[in-house]
Amino acid sequence: MGWFGVEIQADAQFERVPGAGGLLQPGRVSSDCERWKGGGWGCGIGRPPAHRTMPAVLVQELQKTNTKNQLVDVELVLPRITDWPTAVTKSVKLQHGSSILEYQVITGLVDVAAPSSSSDEKRIAPSSSSDEKRIRVVSIVARKLPRVLTLKKRGMTKLELLTTINYSEPIGRDKYGAYKEQTEQGAIDAMNKALQAAEHGEHNAYYAFKRDHVRVWNSLWETGFHISTSMAENVLNGNDINATMYAVISQSRAFEFEESSTAQRKADIARALTYAEGCYDSYHTLQAENLWKKMSSLEELNGVVGSWMLTLEKQGCHNLLKAGASGIVQAMVLSFGGFRFSNQHLELNIHPKYLHRDYDFRRLNYGNMTHVNVSIVVRDDNKAVLSVALDRSDRNYYACDAGCLDTPVQLSQVKTLFPVKLTEPLTSILYITSDKRHMEDLRHAIHVKEVVEAPAHEHHLIALHRHGHSLGGLPTLFWVSICVIIVVFHVFLCKLIVKEYCEPPDKMRYRYSKP
């Protein structure tokens, strides 16, 4: 999570992605098994996340299982982190628990390209005519590994590998020597701190080290979105949305959870999360195909992340983006439904015709102490209905449906139902605010000619999403039974025809002759 990283590939090397908040692929679990000569199987599992509370630390766990009753040597393919033009390598010995291990320190420089208008780098280092001549000093600390790993017999061999990356701000080339030692020492200090936190011992520090990482991710996912699964072809489903959110969030730091963040920095982040005025100022993003492209390669992943960051920034969510990963989660969930904070209220601006699937918007942050849950459910009559509840609140909150013609309804932790209405001209379908007087005034500020309940969705559209076809939801057993009956009928009919035309004539005469 930063400007630099090591790609998780067999032939990976140090890389930099211009204009991106980071370049690591989302942490994932990979597993492979192979049969060895002489019998026996070996399986390996790798988990390569970037640690959330220590942003300079990359963690990789390798597990190899040997099913043979003898020792097995496995050749390792090591990442080519030294394979860049200006890299200079030296060795240092660092203490890991009771052991002294050898680590390599790779330091060099990379050119700073002119940042794009949408990149975070522009906010860090303003563009100037000399940007193309500026550099960053980069230092990487990684453990030295043997090229051959011996696996113990009938057991699991586990490696826990830490890598740290430290880099300078953009500087002139003439200052490289002055910043080199400082950057190197920063990477070494980060490694020492990580090794101490990840130490195996009686206090299980390593498991606490991993648990801190998981805890941050669980906190980030408290705000979220759910959509009912569709059986139709080429539609967006929950797994696509989760994968995209994970990719975008993984490219940003969670500043408020980092150990190095000061109290002032955390207060600034909390303030940014509460000031979401103008976000999200456009139509909902679930229909934007450019934001949901495949991410089968590193280039495609960074392209999707860049599109999301640009979209959120230009549609009024720039303050939330300053808060890092927590703000990005909020901004993305707001954009899914076309939610917008506008002049003392939160409004849901999505056309009723798109509400043919169930949606759940979880823990929308409204101010400092209030979380709002909004659900959209398609009933049996194919009409959508809204439900709103407060997860927690610091004051009274009120809501009204499209047009705000009805009396404002006070919200609570119990779900409050609202019909989905269609107005002429088209306006938002839901308004939420803590100012009851403001909501009463909205009735006179929203000028509509007509307000009617949104019509029911067509049956074939609902059936297409729920069952993959427009014929409805008849059970599979029914169709199997129909097919069996048809097949049996035709078999019986064929048997009658064969008997009628293939039996000898004399037998036929005997059968039908009178006694």
Q: Please write the tens of the pLDDT for every residue from 267-277.
A: 888 888 888 88
Checking if the pLDDT of 251 tops 50, the result is: yes
Top-confidence residue, 242 or 61: 242
Checking if the pLDDT of 21 tops 90, the result is: no
Which pLDDT score is estimated for 82? 80
Name the maximum alpha-carbon separation found in the chain. Answer: 123
Top-confidence residue, 101 or 305: 305
Which pLDDT score is estimated for 38? 47
Give the whole-number percent of the chain exceeding pLDDT 70: 81
Which pLDDT score is estimated for 480? 83
Per DSSP, the chain holds a count of helices (H) and strands (E) of: 12, 24
Top-confidence residue, 426 or 36: 426
In angstroms, the first-to-last Cα distance of the chain is 99
Q: What is the mean pLDDT of residues 471-499?
A: 79
Residue 339, φ and ψ in degrees, nearest 5 = -70, 145
The sign of the torsion formed by the CA atoms of 318, 321, 327, 332 equals positive
Q: What is the pLDDT confidence band of residue 25, given thresholds at 50, 70 and 90?
A: very low
d(CA 227, CA 224): 10
Token couple for 346: 């939160």
CB under 8 Å to 259, separation ≥6 — which residues? 53, 54
Q: Which amino acid is at 205?
A: A
Which pLDDT score is estimated for 509? 54
CB under 8 Å to 30, separation ≥6 — which residues? 45, 46
Checking if the pLDDT of 16 tops 50, the result is: no
Which pLDDT score is estimated for 221? 93
Helices in 198-237 by DSSP H: which ranges? 205-220
Which pLDDT score is estimated for 78? 75
Q: What is the mean pLDDT of residues 69-92?
A: 83
Checking if the pLDDT of 326 tops 90, the result is: yes
269, with CB counted inside 10 A (0-12, 13-18, 19+), is: buried
Q: Please write the tens of the pLDDT for every residue from 215-232.
A: 999 999 999 999 999 888
Q: What is the mean pLDDT of residues 124-136?
A: 55
Question: What is the overall mean pLDDT for the chain?
Answer: 81
Which pLDDT score is estimated for 205? 64
The answer to whether the bond into 425 is cis (omega within 30° of 0) is: yes
421-447 as b/e: b if 16+ CB within 10 A: bbbeeebbbbbbbbbeebbeebeeebe
d(CA 447, CA 196): 63
Kind and range of the H or E run holding 344: none
Q: Which residues pair with 66 in a beta bridge?
A: 42, 155
Checking if the pLDDT of 31 tops 60, the result is: no
Instruction: Give the residue among 138, 256, 145, 140 at the shortest CA–CA distance from 190.
Output: 140
Top-confidence residue, 144 or 476: 144
Least confident of 197-201, 325-329, 451-455, 463-467: 197-201
- Contact between 106 and 187 (Cβ < 8 Å): no
Token couple for 349: 């601006």
